[in-house]
Structure 1
């Protein structure tokens, strides 16, 4: 017998609860940003770890037996997280469930450095990102029998309506296991394709230039990309060097700073001169995962004239 639809929560209710909880987390992040902005800017990409911990504790604690398996969103929509016996789950199980759910989303927006691409780290990252996100979307949409995502499947939990009679569901359909397995295998095979592509080709001259720029005041992080969208045969119309510069002070409109960066690059890297314009994007802000604030401005330098 299938689980009673009156027991299992609908996907729309689960999404609604998630939207409410996301709004709560965004509000918390907004307030924290007002107080700790300079600290978050200093942390750079590591600031996302703060939001990760907050989200993990929010979902982990509130979805556990400590709060009857209900976050704020679930409480408002009268649903809860339970185990096979229709009981609220222990804190450790709830934390593991939350960890499995939120990790792909936080890793996806973390701005991982390109230096990781040619290393073995790309394989577990692909498994987490592609495998985790795609399998979650697939199961939430098509697993009608138990309505479990990977986080529920692994932790043997269910999201159910509050006022309903429990009805033990059948195991998840074997076909879903096959599809999820295929998704995970595909996720592990993607890095091999990336490693053979131009994305993974090392650009040591750009890496050295980025390191030099990091020595300038107010710069916390630099990411450089060589773009060649021309039609070949020497066509340099769409050729340029893109430089993303993260600042520790809000000087995105400082043309003199942008000019100093351009001059340093032209002095230290001859290849930049042959690549066409320099596109220097000065950026100030932070991203703590649950809230972000950015200010940026693009400065263009024609290397033939400047």
Structure 2
């Protein structure tokens, strides 16, 4: 009876096969999310920002069991791309280990673009979320691209897992299964630190003009009880034509997420414009203020929104 040969570098799944497998899994989860939205839209809307937690749990139930020994270490995407998740001995992961493996990736996926309250965005908690989103996200991407020896990313390091070709058998070679290179560890530590510091540095800029007044607009708008969250953007649009020549339109846009479906309410839009001009008087010199009210749901794996926009000159917003 011959001994099982260890894996060689060709048994490690390549970058593009892993990315393609993840894209297929995301598509499968998206179809699940769309189906849930078609049946339970009202309930998903009522979850508000907590809808992303539901999406996280659905993704955890999908990736955890399928990447474990329960399904041979293969999600639907991995099965189609003929790759699988194993440990250093070539065996599929236990369920608990597979669930833990998903946590770093899931944190980046479902916290990114989440509707976080002002109490988080403008506090020390922002550093925690910056580390979880920016730090983990940048580290994961870096390792996917540059860790060519084992192709382990951050979530693989966490549990000692590897993604290999489905036909591979036996333990990994020592040079692959060994500790990650020092360079990668140093780079990931720096990326995690920068991810945690970035929101704190951003807060310092937000206290200076013109960001301070934009922040005041956010605070005033978010204080409205019918608003879940909002965003503000100020900029300029440049157009040019042979007949009218060049034109610059300076504008400020408010995007407000409503708790209810009354997105076409003119009085609400007028109120938001008035709050904007009170918090940022210089906005009265702009050419346009656009108020967009949206309503819908976002559970991370699927979303559906309806919106209504109104753009007027500042003086017309204040007209009775």
Question: 194-203 or 74-83, which moves further after superposition?
Answer: 194-203
Q: Corresponding residue for 2:306?
A: 295
Aligned counterpart in structure 1 of residue 270 of structure 2, from 257, 262, 266: 262
Are the equivalent residues in 2 in contact too, given 1:61–1:95 (CA < 8 A)? yes
Provide TM-score, normalisation by structure 1.
0.85
Where 1:88 maps in the other structure, the secondary structure is coil
Are the equivalent residues in 2 in contact too, given 1:245–1:280 (CA < 8 A)? no
Q: Corresponding residue for 2:296?
A: 285
Query: Where in structure 1 are there 5+ consecutive unaligned residues?
Result: 231-236
**Structure-2 change in CA distance of 1:209 and 1:165 (3 Å):** closer
Are the equivalent residues in 2 in contact too, given 1:16–1:73 (CA < 8 A)? yes
Q: Tell me how far apart the structure 1 counterparts of residues 272 and 118 of structure 2 sit (CA, whole Å).
A: 22
Does residue 90 of structure 2 align to residue 86 of structure 1? yes
**Structure-2 change in CA distance of 1:157 and 1:39 (3 Å):** same
**Structure-2 change in CA distance of 1:5 and 1:43 (3 Å):** same
Where 2:10 maps in the other structure, the secondary structure is coil
Aligned counterpart in structure 2 of residue 179 of structure 1, from 187, 204, 220: 187
Q: Tell me how far apart the structure 2 counterparts of residues 275 and 176 of structure 1 sit (CA, whole Å).
A: 47
Q: Tell me how far apart the structure 2 counterparts of residues 177 and 196 of structure 1 sit (CA, whole Å).
A: 29
CA RMSD of aligned residues (A): 2.7
Q: Displacement, 1:196? A: 1.0
**Structure-2 change in CA distance of 1:22 and 1:148 (3 Å):** same
Q: Displacement, 1:47? A: 0.8
Query: Where in structure 2 are there 5+ consecutive unaligned residues?
Result: 1-5, 238-248
Q: Corresponding residue for 2:16?
A: 12
Q: Tell me how far apart the structure 2 counterparts of residues 116 and 208 of structure 1 sit (CA, whole Å).
A: 16
Q: Tell me how far apart the structure 2 counterparts of residues 129 and 264 of structure 1 sit (CA, whole Å).
A: 30
Q: Tell me how far apart the structure 2 counterparts of residues 136 and 268 of structure 1 sit (CA, whole Å).
A: 39
Does residue 135 of structure 2 align to residue 124 of structure 1? no
Where 2:111 maps in the other structure, the secondary structure is helix
